[in-house]
Chain A
Amino acid sequence: MIDFAFVVDIVVLALLLVTAVAIARMKDLFAIVMLSGIYGLLSAAFFVSLDAVDVAFTEAAVGAGISPLLFLSVLKLTGRYENGSHSHAIFALVLVVVTGLALVVGTLDMPAFGDPDSPASSHVAVRYLEESGREIDIPNVVTSVLASYRGYDTFGEAVVIFTAAVGVLSLLGLLSGPREGGESPVRMGDHLVLRLVSEMLIPLILLFALYVQFHGEYGPGGGFQAGVIFAAAIILHSMLFGLQPAQRVARPPVLRALAALGVLVYGSVGVVSMLSGGTFLDYSVLSEDPVSGQHLGIIVIELGVGVTVASTMILIFFAFTSRSDAAHPETSR
């Protein structure tokens, strides 16, 4: 039963392992961050081979996009090399080996990998696959579950993102206007080729973000991915032309308000459905016809997620890159 998928599986897993070990052993943080981006991309590839296209899309955007970008902006402030100090190496090794063995023991009674009759695939999930076509009537089952059956989890997810935005702002502050040291870590706007390509690319990226936002019901995508892509366009612009032009378009106080509004929009759908006689986030009561009510609800909440995610990502990027190297003495008592 050695088929093509099986080989791909083995190869990607092997690459993941090599990358992880390389990351653990290296000391050059710049290289490590690059490798962690590769790790994210490899995971995304593996998710595709496991038929999880939505997850692959998101992991590619986050693991190979946003998170290396954040790491790099911080590395600029903190320095590139670690001094390689280890603490309690023996203790850690024992702990990790014990934990790992416990996990291996835990897998021994698990259903076989890929088993179509495993409990995971034959209980709750069956309803989603068989009934969502009738109950919600959109092709992408992941979107149906995410936005409706488990829509409350997704509300929580939007709140988590919002919490991160508030937390980062409370730590790094909100810049309301241009200020000294507000340069991005890499400024490449002087390169003609880069400049021309990106000037053509940025509108296309924005367009693609809108497509992903409103097309999530049919193919992979949705509010989160769209928000990340939208943010990527603004971030790309600020990397090429500096922070100030980008901040004139996307002003931090406005972004902060938008991050809050996205969550409020999501929650308001829940409130409206309560007022219309349903439970919180029951979209069926939003319209005469339950199925069109579901469609309406999903579109609005995905919009809320998209707005919160895009504004949060841009805000966080601004907060990191605009921070100058000058030491900010802490008040200590």
Chain B
Amino acid sequence: MILDLYNYWVVIALMMVGFYSVIVRGNLIKKLIGLNIFQTSVFIFYISVGKVDGGTAPILVDGVTLYSNPLPHVLILTAIVVGIATLALALALVVRIKDAYGTVEEEEIREIDEQ
């Protein structure tokens, strides 16, 4: 069982490290890096699902019959693109927040808003 699933468990640990950084860190950029790690780890989870022992990359070659599963690859290609798009937008927001508030620390922004 451990040999069957250890891969997924390490990936879950990776996800949780990222998830933790998103929730707990007060710096807006650090949060985004956490989010990035969280998402990237989910990508690894998907690709692990598509792994086939003894298979090769899904590029058709004569004589090869066993390939890894191409569908998770396709899904994750899309998800990577969605991830970078979200990141770009988030960073643009951070730049504007820095301009408007003079800080990128959550606590300080909240204090300024409460004044």
Whether the complex brings A and B within 8 Å at their CB atoms is answered yes
Binding site for B on A (CB under 8 A): 9, 13, 16-17, 20-21, 23-24, 29, 32-33, 36, 39-40, 43, 46-47, 50-55, 58-59, 62-63, 66-67, 70-71, 74-75, 77-79, 82-89, 92-93, 95-97, 99-100, 103-104, 107-108, 110, 112-116, 118, 120-121, 124-125, 128-129, 132-133, 139-142, 144-146, 150, 153-154, 156-157, 160-161, 163-164, 167-168, 171-172, 218-220, 224, 316, 319-320, 323, 327-330
Asked if B37 contacts A39 (CB within 8 A), the reply is: yes
Residues of A within 8 A of B75 (CB): 153
Q: How far is the CB of A119 from chain B (nearest CB, A)?
A: 10
Residues of B within 8 A of A13 (CB): 7, 10-11
The 25 sampled A-B contact pairs (Cβ below 8 Å) are A16-B10, A23-B33, A24-B20, A24-B34, A32-B33, A40-B40, A50-B48, A50-B68, A51-B57, A52-B57, A52-B72, A55-B77, A67-B84, A71-B29, A71-B91, A82-B25, A108-B5, A113-B48, A113-B51, A121-B52, A141-B59, A145-B70, A145-B71, A145-B74, A172-B96
Q: How far is the CA of A77 from the CA of B98 in the complex (A)?
A: 8
CB contact under 8 A between A92 and B33, given known A112-B4, A319-B92: no
Residues of A within 8 A of B34 (CB): 23-24
Which of under 10, 10 to 19, 20 to 34, or 35 or more describes the interface residues of B? 35 or more
Residues of A within 8 A of B104 (CB): 78-79
Q: How far is the CB of B12 from chain A (nearest CB, A)?
A: 5
Residues of A within 8 A of B87 (CB): 67, 70
Asked if A171 contacts B19 (CB within 8 A), the reply is: no
Q: How far is the CA of A86 from the CA of B52 in the complex (A)?
A: 42
Q: How far is the CA of A171 from the CA of B87 in the complex (A)?
A: 14
Q: How far is the CA of A116 from the CA of B61 in the complex (A)?
A: 19
Q: How far is the CA of A219 from the CA of B61 in the complex (A)?
A: 11
Q: How far is the CA of A43 from the CA of B10 in the complex (A)?
A: 13
Asked if B53 contacts A115 (CB within 8 A), the reply is: yes
Asked if B23 contacts A95 (CB within 8 A), the reply is: yes
Q: How far is the CA of A103 from the CA of B17 in the complex (A)?
A: 14
Q: How far is the CA of A251 from the CA of B84 in the complex (A)?
A: 23
Q: How far is the CA of A330 from the CA of B15 in the complex (A)?
A: 37
Asked if B82 contacts A113 (CB within 8 A), the reply is: no
Question: Within the complex, which residue of A16, A82, A139, A323 is in contact with B60, where a contact is CB–CB below 8 Å?
Answer: A139
Most buried by B among A23, A52, A66, A83: A52
Supplied contacts A75-B29, A83-B26, 13 more A-B pairs, CB within 8 Å:
A16-B10, A36-B36, A40-B40, A58-B77, A58-B81, A95-B23, A103-B16, A107-B9, A108-B5, A113-B48, A146-B74, A220-B57, A319-B92
Q: How far is the CB of A185 from chain B (nearest CB, A)?
A: 13
CB contact under 8 A between A70 and B91, given known A20-B17, A51-B55, A55-B43: yes
Q: How far is the CA of A63 from the CA of B31 in the complex (A)?
A: 16
Q: How far is the CA of A173 from the CA of B106 in the complex (A)?
A: 25
CB contact under 8 A between A320 and B20, given known A24-B34, A87-B26: no
| CB under 8 Å from chain A, chain B span 10-69 | 10-21, 23-27, 29-30, 32-34, 36-37, 40-41, 43-44, 47-61, 66-69
